[in-house]
Amino acid sequence: MDPHIFLIQLLNGVQYGLLLFLVASGLTLIFGIMGVINLAHGSFYMLGAYLAWSLTAQLGNFWLALLSGFVLSVVLGMLLEWLFIRHLYRRDHLQQVLLTYGLILIFSELRSIVWGDDVHSVAVPALLAGSIPLTETLAYPVYRIWLSIICVVLAAGMYYLIQHTRLGMMIRAGASNREMTQSLGIDIGLLYRLVFAFGIALAAFAGMLAAPVSSVYPGMGNQVLIICFVVVVIGGIGSVKGAMAAALLIGLVDTFGKVVEFEIGGFRVLPELAGMSVFVMMAIVLLWRPEGLFGARLR
Partner 1 sequence: MTQAVQNAQSRRDFLAGVGALAGISLLPLAGCARSDKVRVGFMLPYTGTYAQLGVAIENGFRLALAEQGGTLGGREVEYFKVDDESNPAKATDNANKIITRDKVDVVVGTVHSGVAMGMIKVARETGTLALIPNAGVNAATGDLCAPNVFRTSFSNWQPTHPLGKVMIDNGHRKAVFITWKYSAGEQALQSFAEGYKAAGGTVIKELFVPFPNVEFQALLTEIAALKPDAVACFFAGGGAVKFVKDYAAAGLKNNIPLYGSGFLTEGVLDAQGDSAEGVITTLHYADSLDNPRNKAFRAAYREAYGMEADVYAVQGYDTGLLLAQALEKAGGDISNRDAIIAAMEGAVIDSPRGRWTMSKAHNPIQDFYLRRVENGDNKVIGVAWKGLEDPARGCNM
Residues that bind partner 1 (CB under 8 A): 1-2, 5, 8-9, 12-13, 15-16, 112, 116-121, 123, 131, 133, 135-141, 143-144, 213-220, 223, 254-256, 258-259, 271-272, 274-275
Quote the least distance from Cβ 51 to partner 1, whole Å: 16
Instruction: Rank residues 117 and 187 by Cβ distance to partner 1 and give the closer one.
Output: 117
Reduce the secondary structure of 56-72 to three states and give it as a string. Answer: HHHHCCHHHHHHHHHHH
Instruction: Rank residues 190 and 273 by Cβ distance to partner 1 and give the closer one.
Output: 273
Instruction: Rank residues 15 and 100 by Cβ distance to partner 1 and give the closer one.
Output: 15
User: How many Cβ atoms from other residues are within 10 Å of residue 79's Cβ?
Assistant: 13
Quote the least distance from Cβ 256 to partner 1, whole Å: 8
Instruction: Rank residues 41 and 193 by Cβ distance to partner 1 and give the closer one.
Output: 41
| Half-sphere exposure at residue 68, Cβ-oriented, CA atoms within 13 angstroms | 16
Question: Crossing angle of helices 41-59/188-210, nearest 10°?
Answer: 60
Quote the least distance from Cβ 95 to partner 1, whole Å: 25
Please state whether beta strands 131-133 and 139-141 pair in parallel, antiparallel, or not at all (unpaired).
Answer: antiparallel
Give Cα separations from 191 to 49, 154, 206 (angstroms): 27, 20, 22
Instruction: Rank residues 5 and 114 by Cβ distance to partner 1 and give the closer one.
Output: 5
Q: What is the largest CA-CA distance in the chain?
A: 65
Quote the least distance from Cβ 261 to partner 1, whole Å: 11
Collapsed DSSP state (helix, strand, coil) of residue 137: coil
Instruction: Rank residues 183 and 223 by Cβ distance to partner 1 and give the closer one.
Output: 223
Question: Shortest CA distance to 242 belongs to which of 283, 197, 299, 292?
Answer: 292
Cβ contact 258:24 at 8 Å: no
Quote the least distance from Cβ 213 to partner 1, whole Å: 8
Quote the least distance from Cβ 222 to partner 1, whole Å: 9
